[in-house]
Amino acid sequence: MGKGLLIVALGMSVIISFFILKLNANSKENLSTTINMFEQTQARLIANSGVEVYLERLKHDRSMMNKNFPNNNLFGGTYNISISGPDSLVQVTSRATFMSVQHTTVVEAAADKVPLYPGPGAMYLSTGTVAGLKKNAINGSIEINGNDHDINGNLIGGGSSVPGIAVDGVTQKNSVIAMITKNTIDQVLGSGGTPSVSVINNQVDWAEYAKLVADNPDIIIDTQEKVKTINIWGTLNDPKVTFVNGDIKINNSQAASGCGILVVNGSLEINGNFNYKGLVIAFKNTIIDIKLNGNAQILGSLVVAGTQINVDVSSGNFKAFYSTEALNLIQALLVTKRFSILSWWE
């Protein structure tokens, strides 16, 4: 009887063991099905991210063209990158491996340069800037001239003209005219009569444009310590993109001159001499505060799409002259802003 029971018990144990093993095998297989889907997804995401990473790097370093970049690590996997082609048709191939699952992504892209948008006037004031204008925002010995000037600031006879001050609407125009009339500023010249304050149809998102232009600047002024006694932010032979980011002051014992594109995000207070040739864009929460005890000249165009501008000249003078010659100089500075994707295989 005892033996019989033992045999029965052993038999049942064997049956149950097989049963459990079978269920366990199914469970493992089920899990591996799910995990495999995850691995495929992860491999695809790594390959795609690799393309994004290297297109961004290529934007700043064109020597990466026609090269391979193997064994990059990301998210626990690896990817190999191969870049080929001219600027007009860049092919980036990314082969990713994650937990032995492979995925290939092939992307074709074209380098897309930042377009040149010359300012619409010698000075452009956005609606937001006009709304923040103080009563004496522009005051003192000031000349804003929308007639075309050469690179030395001389008037070009018969040249094209733009408004001295360009604004977005009639309300803004009236505000600006009221302010300059009150402060007896009679040197706002350019197209549309005197004072040359005109409504223009602005199609440019200057804040976005400023960000594109300043994406990879040559000079960054983000602390007061970077402002020296003499500051040179580009020359006629070597124009630069300068990005002033933060609250910066050029005091009356300092001077700054430059050529190229100057993008300002923050508060720029100018007391000392300032001479710039090219395009100056102030955006975001920028406050341009020019309290001159010297001379300041912007030759090209000044675009104020920030919060506020104050030009208070107690001694010396401030000149903003439109110059196509100065603006043409900056064409070469405009870098590849991004790669526009032509096709994406994944």
Partner 1 sequence: MNFIMDIMGSSLIAGILFLLILKLNLYSSNANYYSDNELRLQQNVKTLAEVMNYDLRKIGYKYDGTAIVTAEPTRIQFFAEMNAPGTYGHGTVDFVEYYLGDSTEASATANQRDKVLYRIVNHTDTLGGPTLGLIDFRFSYLNSKGITTSILDSIKYVKAEFWVEPYEHVSNYLTNQPDSSQFTYWELTINPRNI
How far out from the chain centre does Cα 210 lie? Answer: 6
Least separation in angstroms between residue 342's CB and partner 1 is 9
Other CB atoms within 10 A of residue 304 CB: 26
Neighbour-count burial of 166, counting CB atoms closer than 10 A to its CB (0-12 exposed, 13-18 middle, 19+ buried): buried
Least separation in angstroms between residue 229's CB and partner 1 is 52
Least separation in angstroms between residue 43's CB and partner 1 is 12
Strand 90-98 relative to strand 77-84, pairing: antiparallel
Q: Which part of the chain contacts partner 1 (CB under 8 A), choosing from 6-14, 68-76, 184-192, 226-234? A: 6-14
Neighbour-count burial of 135, counting CB atoms closer than 10 A to its CB (0-12 exposed, 13-18 middle, 19+ buried): exposed
Select the residue interacting with partner 1 from 6, 10, 27, 247 (CB under 8 A): 27
What is the DSSP code string of 200-239?
A: ------HHHHHHHHTTS-SEEE-SGGG--SEEEE--SSS-
Other CB atoms within 10 A of residue 226 CB: 13
Report which secondary-structure segment, H or E, holds 290: strand 287-292
DSSP label at residue 234: -
Establish if 102 lies at the interface with partner 1 (CB under 8 A).
Answer: no
Give the integer Cα–Cα distance in Å for 322 and 192: 15
Establish if 26 lies at the interface with partner 1 (CB under 8 A).
Answer: yes
Establish if 1 lies at the interface with partner 1 (CB under 8 A).
Answer: yes
Establish if 22 lies at the interface with partner 1 (CB under 8 A).
Answer: yes
The answer to whether the peptide bond before residue 195 is cis (omega within 30 degrees of 0) is yes
**For partner 1, which is the closer residue by CB, 35 or 230?**
35
Q: Which part of the chain contacts partner 1 (CB under 8 A), choosing from 21-29, 75-83, 167-175, 255-263? A: 21-29
**For partner 1, which is the closer residue by CB, 20 or 332?**
20
Strand 138-139 relative to strand 317-322, pairing: unpaired
Select the residue interacting with partner 1 from 2, 3, 34, 340 (CB under 8 A): 34
Number of H helices, E strands in the chain: 5, 20
Strand 295-305 relative to strand 123-125, pairing: parallel
Least separation in angstroms between residue 183's CB and partner 1 is 48
Contact 64, 85 (CB under 8 A): no
**For partner 1, which is the closer residue by CB, 203 or 343?**
343
Establish if 36 lies at the interface with partner 1 (CB under 8 A).
Answer: yes
Establish if 33 lies at the interface with partner 1 (CB under 8 A).
Answer: yes
- Token pair for residue 35? 């995990």
Establish if 7 lies at the interface with partner 1 (CB under 8 A).
Answer: no
Establish if 29 lies at the interface with partner 1 (CB under 8 A).
Answer: yes
Establish if 345 lies at the interface with partner 1 (CB under 8 A).
Answer: yes
Select the residue interacting with partner 1 from 15, 131, 178, 230 (CB under 8 A): 15
Least separation in angstroms between residue 6's CB and partner 1 is 12
What is the contact surface with partner 1 in residues (CB under 8 A)? Answer: 1, 4, 8, 11-12, 15-16, 19, 22-23, 26-27, 29-30, 33-34, 36-37, 40, 104, 106, 341, 343-346
